[in-house]
Amino acid sequence: MNTVHVPGDGDTKERLLTEARDLYLEGGFAHFSLREVARRTGISAAAVYRHFDSREALLREVCAAGFQIFYAYLVRSLSEPTARARLSACAKQYARFGLEHPRYYRVIFMGDGQETSVARPLERTSKDPTFLVLVDRVRECMADGVIRRGDVEETAVVIWAHVHGLVSLRLSGHLAQIGAQAQFEAFYASSTERLLVGLAT
């Protein structure tokens, strides 16, 4: 058993997830405890165990919440009229999620290196719904002839590495010289477009 759902305690659980997310970002997994999450939330440690039976279970739930928001961003790309436009929109939505939800982005993509089996329950494989969105966009672009044919997942990983690199560098302050968010978004769009042009047939 990992998560215990208690009817009527939705607000408390939401607060627990928020405090757990922020505590993890402050000190990493080594300094993460249910007792400290309980203190910050203003409830007893016993009450935390009504929802989660371990710190691993709580962090997995934090990640699941982040991935749910992330997925909601990615599926917005499906409204575009062409395969190429959907792929471009997918890349754009990736950045929007990172910039608008930097704390969740940091937890699920920029952990402290100790969370491999804890804070990343959804590995980057073809079974991950968020990665599958990108894989499907690449596959349809190959089918339409706007990206040269090849290993679909390998190409998706190349695109993911590119966009993740840009967003992570921005969030860590290494691209501050580009300017405000509007300038970064323009740079990001231009850089991503150049990558996709390079992948064209």
**Which alpha helices (DSSP H) does 42-180 contain, by range?**
45-48, 55-74, 83-100, 102-109, 129-144, 152-171
Contacts of 110 (CB under 8 A, 6+ apart): 168, 171, 172
As for how many domains the chain has, the answer is: 2
Residue 4 placed within a domain = no
* CA dist., res. 197 & res. 43, Å (int): 53
**Statement to judge: residues 157 and 114 lie in one domain:** yes
**Statement to judge: residues 175 and 147 lie in one domain:** yes
Residue 96 placed within a domain = yes
Cα–Cα distances (Å) from 75 to 4, 62, 87, 128, in that order, read 29, 21, 11, 14
For residues 100 and 171, the answer to whether their CB atoms sit within 8 Å is: no
Q: What is the CATH number of the domain that holds 44?
A: 1.10.10.60
Q: What is the CATH number of the domain that holds 135?
A: 1.10.357.10
The pLDDT assigned to 9 comes to 53
**Statement to judge: residues 142 and 47 lie in one domain:** no
The pLDDT assigned to 201 comes to 74
- Domain range for 43: 10-60
The pLDDT assigned to 147 comes to 96
* CA dist., res. 201 & res. 192, Å (int): 16
* CA dist., res. 103 & res. 171, Å (int): 10
**Statement to judge: residues 36 and 71 lie in one domain:** no
**Statement to judge: residues 101 and 194 lie in one domain:** yes
* CA dist., res. 171 & res. 6, Å (int): 35
With vertex at residue 88, the alpha carbon angle to CA 83 and CA 89, rounded to the nearest 5 degrees, is 95
Residue 85 in tokens: 């436009």
**Statement to judge: residues 162 and 112 lie in one domain:** yes
Say whether pTM exceeds 0.75.
yes
pLDDT, one tens digit for every residue, the chain (201 residues) = 344 333 345 588 888 999 999 999 988 888 888 989 999 989 888 888 888 888 898 999 999 999 999 999 999 999 999 999 999 999 999 999 999 999 999 998 887 555 444 444 444 445 689 999 999 999 999 999 999 999 999 999 999 999 999 999 999 999 999 999 999 999 999 999 999 999 997
CB atoms within 10 A of CB 149: 11
**Statement to judge: residues 80 and 23 lie in one domain:** no
**Statement to judge: residues 45 and 92 lie in one domain:** no
Give 52's strand partners.
Answer: 3
Q: Is 145 helix (H, G, I), strand (E, B) or coil?
A: coil
Residue 114 placed within a domain = yes
**Statement to judge: residues 42 and 68 lie in one domain:** no
Residue 112 placed within a domain = yes
Cα–Cα distances (Å) from 147 to 88, 132, 196, in that order, read 12, 17, 8
**Statement to judge: residues 165 and 178 lie in one domain:** yes
**Statement to judge: residues 55 and 86 lie in one domain:** no
